[in-house]
Structures are given as structure tokens and as C-alpha cells.
Amino acid sequence: MLGVRTECAPLSGLATITGNTLTAKDIVTGASGCTNGNSGEQHLWVTDFLKRPIQMTFSQGTLIWKSGADSLSFQID
């Protein structure tokens, strides 16, 4: 199970990892609402990001998720 929280609403879906690829299926959005236009755009971007297979790499304390041309970096302390 994968859970993500945006400013607009939480997202969740079934997740599988095969090798270095994370795949989320059946992504649903929880009830909530956006308070500004940028939050809504961000929510849609995150949803689209999660719908594609995500390639995961880890280097020098940073976890990188790459989905299509987009990527997210998570610093691990």
C-alpha cells in the first residue's frame, strides 16, 4: 500500500516493487479540498506521477524516484 498526502487530499493505492520499479495501481483520492489553485495543479501532477512506473535509485543518502521525465528526491538523514 502506498499513501501520499498533498495539500488538497490524500492519495493511496496498491503498490508493488519489482527490482527497482515501484508500480501503484487503483489510486484513489480521499475527501478534502484545495485552498488555492497551485495546490490543485500539484495534486494533479502527483497523481499523474504515481500512475506511471517509478524507477527508484539510491545514492549518497538520497532516494530518487523517476517517473517519465519527472523526478522526486528524498534526502535520508
Domain spans, the chain:
2-75
Model pTM above 0.95? no
Cell of 26: 487503483
Q: Between these two residues, 56 and 42, which has the higher pLDDT value?
A: 56
CATH code: domain 2-75 is 2.40.128.270
- The reported pLDDT for the residue numbered 36 is 67
Q: Between these two residues, 66 and 39, which has the higher pLDDT value?
A: 66
Note the helical H segments in the chain.
37-51
Note the helical H segments in 1-53.
37-51
